[in-house]
A and B are shown apart, each in its own frame.
Chain A
Amino acid sequence: MAVADTTDHHDHDHDHHDHDPFIAHHFDGPQQQFDSGKLGIWLFLVTEVLFFSGLFVAYTLYRNHHPEIFELAHHHLDKVLGCLNTIVLLFSSLTMALAVRSAQTGKNKNCELYTLITMVCATIFLGVKAVEYSHKWDLGIFPKYGFNYTPGHHEMGFLGLSPYLIKLSAIPALLLASFAGASVMGKLTDKPAQFKFFMGMAIMVAGYFAGVAGGVVYQNAVDSGHAHLAMSSSPLQLHAATFEENGQHHSHQHSDQHSEGQGHEGGEEHGDDHHDQRHEGSGESMPKSVGAFFSIYYCMTGLHAIHIIGGIVALAWIYYRSQQGHWREDYFGPVDYVGLYWHLVDLIWIYLFPLLYLID
């Protein structure tokens, strides 16, 4: 129905714009509407840049005054996961640019596909982020005053997963079930548009679990064999660095660390007595002020993640309208605007990645 509509209007819009559903009455024509929207979205992006700049100021000041804390803290951030997320986000930017191009050339089917890929990349990014966050929370790495780093300490939940990760994944799981249900309902009640749209939404949320799965597999590989994968995030290496600084508890802690490492591979044996001992020992090894770095880290990446979620909502709207076949050569503004926003989110990550993950 909608597809027929657009071609119809295309024929008409040479004579009278009044009947065009996509060109508002207060605009002279498609070009004026497009240019106004474009200026509007650029102004919005300016406010976004200024919004984030507050956090960049916090970062700059803290790093300027306490470079040693950044040196110490960034070893907790996994370069591999960060790099993987960067590539996923860059790829989503490519598919977004392709989606904009498809809309510009009036190819609604392609636009639909590219928007879906963009959304899936976004949720993969969030899935990996969820693994990163929950892994840190397991280790007691919380913002400032909650900071209570306990190396080697792992809460084990269902299937050996982090309880935090399970809690974080509850919302996507609920969404996945709802979208899949809505899609099936659409199929059963003969509503093809609803079926198609919610099918896409379900695929989009499934991307989150793909990201989580990838992240967990990688994280387990690192945890069980950090000797092989000698990443900078390895707790052993970090410990060595911290001891040099504090100059105490050398041998005792080291042997403790080793036994923990082996206990890890074994998996389940995490007695409570052990746990307490670790708690006390490592409380001294990591200065509490390191938590301030993580306040900045959580604020910056958290705000960025919120923008990703907002972007997904906007993209879902674009996805729906692509399915309705709304885009044509003189009307593709919304795709372009959402695209610009999406690229800005990518742009911010381009700076966050080296600033947070690659301090050396």
Chain B
Amino acid sequence: MSDHSHDYPSFNHPAPVPLLFVVFGALIFLTVATVVTSNIELGEFGFIVAMIIATMKAFLVCAFFMHMWWDKGFNVLVFFSSLLFVSLFIGMTLLDTGSYKETIDAFPTTEESSLSTTEY
């Protein structure tokens, strides 16, 4: 396109249109793929496969739709630092509840029985 020969200000990087459409096609393909794989019995791996596909989609959206590919390194660092804190949040909470799992697992039954006696 003629846009490419054009001089843009240094902070302006219009994404090539064909690239956007290819990314969209890939996202649709991955969406169909995740639905198809969810119908196949994969057992334990089902969750992992779904998360890998979701992360691939997230990468495509971040890199090209959100222009991270052309963005400043600092902005990318800022965004990814949030993921670090999210993983700490989830990881620490899992560790914590994991350490008294038995008590938690016993809870619904005690709750159910108390519910039935009080006719909630």
Question: B-facing mask of A67-100, CB < 8 A → 1, else 0?
Answer: 0000000000001000100110011011011101
Residues of A within 8 Å of B53, CB to CB, are 354
Question: A-facing mask of B1-42, CB < 8 A → 1, else 0?
Answer: 001001011111111010011011001100110110011011
Which residue of B28, B38, B61, B81 is within 8 Å of A347 (Cβ)?
B61
- Asked if residues A101 and B65 are in contact (CB atoms below 8 Å), the reply is no
- Asked if residues B17 and A98 are in contact (CB atoms below 8 Å), the reply is yes
- Asked if residues A288 and B112 are in contact (CB atoms below 8 Å), the reply is yes
- Asked if residues B20 and A354 are in contact (CB atoms below 8 Å), the reply is no
A residues 316-360 touching B (CB-CB < 8 Å): 329-330, 332, 336, 339-340, 343-344, 346-347, 350-351, 353-355, 358-360
| Nearest chain A residue, comparing its CB with the CB of B9 | A330
Question: B-facing mask of A29-54, CB < 8 A → 1, else 0?
Answer: 01100110011001101100110011
- Asked if residues B61 and A343 are in contact (CB atoms below 8 Å), the reply is yes
- Asked if residues B35 and A358 are in contact (CB atoms below 8 Å), the reply is yes
Which residue of B51, B65, B75 is within 8 Å of A96 (Cβ)?
B65
- Asked if residues A87 and B28 are in contact (CB atoms below 8 Å), the reply is yes
- Asked if residues B66 and A340 are in contact (CB atoms below 8 Å), the reply is yes
- Asked if residues B38 and A351 are in contact (CB atoms below 8 Å), the reply is no
A134, CB-defined interface residue at 8 Å: no
Residues of B within 8 Å of A79, CB to CB, are 35, 38
Closest Cβ of chain A to B48, distance in Å, is 11
Closest Cβ of chain A to B85, distance in Å, is 6
Closest Cβ of chain A to B17, distance in Å, is 7
Residues of B within 8 Å of A340, CB to CB, are 66
- Asked if residues A49 and B20 are in contact (CB atoms below 8 Å), the reply is no
| Chain A interface extent, by class | 35 or more
- Asked if residues B108 and A360 are in contact (CB atoms below 8 Å), the reply is no
Residues of A within 8 Å of B58, CB to CB, are 347, 350-351
Closest Cβ of chain A to B55, distance in Å, is 9
Classify the secondary structure of B's interface with A.
helix
Which residue of B6, B15, B57, B74 is within 8 Å of A97 (Cβ)?
B15
**Known contacts A56-B90, A288-B112: does B65 contact A42 (CB below 8 Å)?**
no
- Asked if residues B15 and A64 are in contact (CB atoms below 8 Å), the reply is no
Q: How many residues of B contact A (CB 8 A)?
A: 63
| Nearest chain B residue, comparing its CB with the CB of A32 | B11
Which residue of B46, B66, B111 is within 8 Å of A360 (Cβ)?
B46
Residues of B within 8 Å of A34, CB to CB, are 11
Which residue of B3, B12, B64, B79 is within 8 Å of A46 (Cβ)?
B79
Residues of B within 8 Å of A45, CB to CB, are 79, 82
- Asked if residues A101 and B17 are in contact (CB atoms below 8 Å), the reply is yes
Complex: A307 Cα to B92 Cα, angstroms: 27
Residues of B within 8 Å of A343, CB to CB, are 61-62, 65-66
Closest Cβ of chain A to B95, distance in Å, is 11
Residues of A within 8 Å of B82, CB to CB, are 45-46, 49-50
A61, CB-defined interface residue at 8 Å: yes
Which residue of B17, B31, B74, B108 is within 8 Å of A39 (Cβ)?
B74
Which residue of B11, B12, B20, B46 is within 8 Å of A98 (Cβ)?
B20
Residues of B within 8 Å of A53, CB to CB, are 85-86, 89-90
A65, CB-defined interface residue at 8 Å: yes
Residues of A within 8 Å of B34, CB to CB, are 353-354, 358
A105, CB-defined interface residue at 8 Å: yes
Complex: A253 Cα to B27 Cα, angstroms: 43
List, sorted by A's number, 7 A–B pairs whose CB atoms are closer than 8 Å: A38-B72, A50-B89, A64-B94, A94-B23, A104-B13, A288-B115, A330-B12
